[in-house]
Amino acid sequence: MSKSFVVAVCGATGAVGQEMLKVLEQRDFPYSKLIPLASSRSAGKKVMCKGEEHTVVELTENSFDGVDLALFSAGGSTSEKFAPIAAKAGCVVVDNSSAWRMNDECPLVVPEVNPGDLDWHKGIIANPNCSTIQLMVALKPIHDEARIKRVVVSTYQAVSGSGQKAIEELENQVQRLMSGKPVVSDVYPHQIAFNCLPHIDVFMDNGYTKEEMKMVQETIKIMGDPTIKVTATCVRVPVFYSHSESVNIETEEKLTADDVRSLLAKSPGIIVEDFPEKKAYPMPIDAAGEDATYVGRIREDETIDNGINMWVVSDNIRKGAALNTVQIAETLIERDLVRVP
């Protein structure tokens, strides 16, 4: 990456925006200028990146003049309005909201899985849902080797996926319960502390939640195979960071558990942690703050001929949002797909 780029981070003061700045610094992303953008109420605040202080600027329709890359994490309505404006100004947008994921004109990309889809971008690239990203990283090597026919996934999703207020709600509920006080639920419809909620996002007419249908639709788009059957149950659990997933896979070709361990161990972005005799398996507390997708509890499903069960864990704010966004930007540069004025 010998070139330097003008990079804007939209939503720079939010949880994911702050993590994006960390990732840009840690990966020494080649920017010549960094422009942190946010709403008017955050304008004037200071953020740090690469040891330099940057002043947050209000996001407006003129924010993208001279910008090469814009990393968006400012919500769907903001992305719907400003991403096309940025693209029209000659800027390549990598958007972390759900606004553009199922748009046929926008690639939906996990760099370890489908980097080639970036070749047909038209200015806006979508970052997948956090729970989908870690699933794709784990499924891709298996699909390439034995072709996946069907996936059944149950998620155990951290409260950080709902934002800072949800993190605070869990903290407050735990404190109140330990003090013998009644809990207050604002973010979630029920108490989240010491509880599990089989309800993420709104319920659809088919009985699934929007989060569950995101996983179904995004998997098919990213894998580029409409014949893969996917069903999901998404559950919010009282964990601060890192989503966990129980994944059951049926393949066309037979793979043993050892085959899968070997495949995944040599695949980018994956760490296999599968030593049950040592009580070693992926846990959300260990994945928090880490780049990798961790896979363990790999075993054959003895109820079908070609079945595999596994447990997949990854930091939903890190790999599930900020890191994947920056990796997309890096891949755009590597493939010479950034339009530089």
pLDDT per position as a tens digit, 306-333: 999 999 999 999 999 999 999 999 999 9
Rounded to the nearest integer, the mean pLDDT of the chain is 96
Give, in degrees to the nearest 5, the angle at Cα 59 between 56 and 64.
100
Annotated catalytic, 243? Answer: yes
Considering the domain delimited by 132-315, tell me its CATH architecture: 2-Layer Sandwich (3.30)
The predicted structure's pLDDT at residue 3: 74
**Residue 141 structure tokens:** 């090597």
Maximum Cα–Cα distance for the chain, whole Å?
A: 61
- Take residue 62 and report the two structure tokens written for it: 């003129």
Residues spanned by CATH 3.40.50.720 within the chain?
Answer: 5-128+321-334
Predicted structure pTM score: 0.95
d(CA 4, CA 68): 10
Tens of pLDDT, residue by residue over 201-225, are: 999 999 999 999 999 999 999 999 9
Residue 339: pLDDT band with limits 50, 70, 90: confident
Residues 39 and 59 sit within 8 Å (Cβ to Cβ): yes
Which is the catalytic residue, given 10, 130, 143, 234?
Answer: 130
Res. 2: pLDDT tops 70: no
Q: In this structure, which amino acid lies at residue 63?
A: S
CA dihedral 14, 95, 116, 319 (to 10 degrees): 20
| Integer Cα distance of 85 and 64 in angstroms | 8
Reported as a single tens digit per residue, the pLDDT across 221-251 is: 999 999 999 999 999 999 999 999 999 999 9
Q: Cite the residue boundaries of each domain of the chain with CATH code 3.30.360.10.
A: 132-315
pLDDT of residue 1: 45
Query: DSSP for 25-48?
Result: HHTT--EEEEEEEE-TTTTT-EEE
Contact yes or no for 35/7 (Cβ under 8 A): yes
Judge whether 331 and 111 are in contact, CB under 8 Å.
yes
pLDDT at 244: 98
Q: Residue 184 contacts by C-beta under 8 Å, 6 or more apart in sequence?
A: 169, 172, 173, 176
Is residue 121 part of the annotated active site? The answer reads no
CATH architecture of structural domain 5-128+321-334 = 3-Layer(aba) Sandwich (3.40)
Query: Each residue of 106-150: pLDDT tens digit?
Result: 999 999 999 999 999 999 999 999 999 999 999 999 999 999 999
Taking Cα atoms as reference points, which of 83, 89, 66 lies closest to residue 11?
83
